[in-house]
Structure 1
């Protein structure tokens, strides 16, 4: 079990680790709404340059017991704040995502914040609901990781 979870800004030295997390096949399947090709390093680097340059994004790495174990961000999408996170599968079930969500919600106090989760991703749904997010609807969208349209649950923290 992780004893200490903290957030800090993403550094260039973190990018290799983050890229590897985002290539894990089981994690990609669960996240569903991922990069078209998780193995495309050039596309990953271009995306990271873009999001790290945006002033409307709070982008952090999750540090667990002194090592990078994921990422978390709150960003503006079509005028609404949205949360997203990715946790290394090696630490799933250890409370890392829940603690990281709590930390970023202390940092970003504007509300409402929305979350969108593949409806069959019970773990992520639990994380957001425990943080106070409430289900407000569903949508169907193309999930590149699954190469098909799937249902996603939309949650809101007021």
Structure 2
């Protein structure tokens, strides 16, 4: 039997991946935990248009997460307010298996921008643990409007620096 961690691979995201990745982010529980989603997160045309542009942006590193050639999620580095930021999404049927932590470890080996930040909803304990396992340190909090919850919530700010 194959070790699931060695079977996890990252590859550059292709336009052909976007249809399935769009479906993953429609999951209501995942959206609730992610919290900070676009207002039109269920508009497939808007999603495809946005991510097609991001795939062409040289400051964005979009990777698709696969296990034995099956797409299970995505991970990316993007620039926001001059800072490198991390984002990831795992199909819910693959939660709780350590896939996000291992994918983030592998991603951080190829994406060397530092410092790099992660923002996570105050009650998204799973994502907080993933960031901490990968060396991120909680450095602050902020408040923002979470479209997925239709209210303002607290978010925690995590940072991975060269020294972490």
TM-score (structure 2 length as normaliser): 0.93
Matched residue SS, 2:4: coil
Query: In structure 2, what is the Cα distance between the partners aligned to 1:123 and 1:21?
Result: 17
Task: For residues 127-157 of structure 1, give each alpha carbon's deviation from its aligned partner in whole angstroms, at most 9, with x where no partner exists.
Answer: 0000000000000000000000000000000
Query: In structure 1, what is the Cα distance between the partners aligned to 2:157 and 2:143?
Result: 10
TM-score (structure 1 length as normaliser): 0.96
Q: After the TM superposition, which segments of 4 or more aligned residues of structure 1 sit over 4 Å from their partners?
A: none
In structure 2, the gaps of 5 or more residues are: none
1:105 to 104, 108, 114: 108
Over the aligned positions, Cα root-mean-square deviation in angstroms equals 1.1
2:91 to 88, 92, 95: 88
Please state how far the C-alpha of 1:120 moved relative to its aligned partner. 0.4
The 5 Å alignment of 1:7-86 reads: 7-86=10-89
Query: In structure 1, what is the Cα distance between the partners aligned to 2:99 and 2:155?
Result: 22
Query: In structure 2, what is the Cα distance between the partners aligned to 1:110 and 1:82?
Result: 9
Query: In structure 1, what is the Cα distance between the partners aligned to 2:149 and 2:45?
Result: 21
Count matched residues: 158
Query: In structure 2, what is the Cα distance between the partners aligned to 1:95 and 1:23?
Result: 22
Whether the 8 Å CA contact 1:64–1:96 is kept in 2: the answer is no
Matched residue SS, 2:72: strand
Query: In structure 1, what is the Cα distance between the partners aligned to 2:16 and 2:4?
Result: 22
2:8 to 5, 9, 13: 5
The residue that corresponds to 1:143 in the other structure is 146
Matched residue SS, 1:75: strand
Please state how far the C-alpha of 1:66 moved relative to its aligned partner. 2.0
1:121 to 121, 124, 137: 124
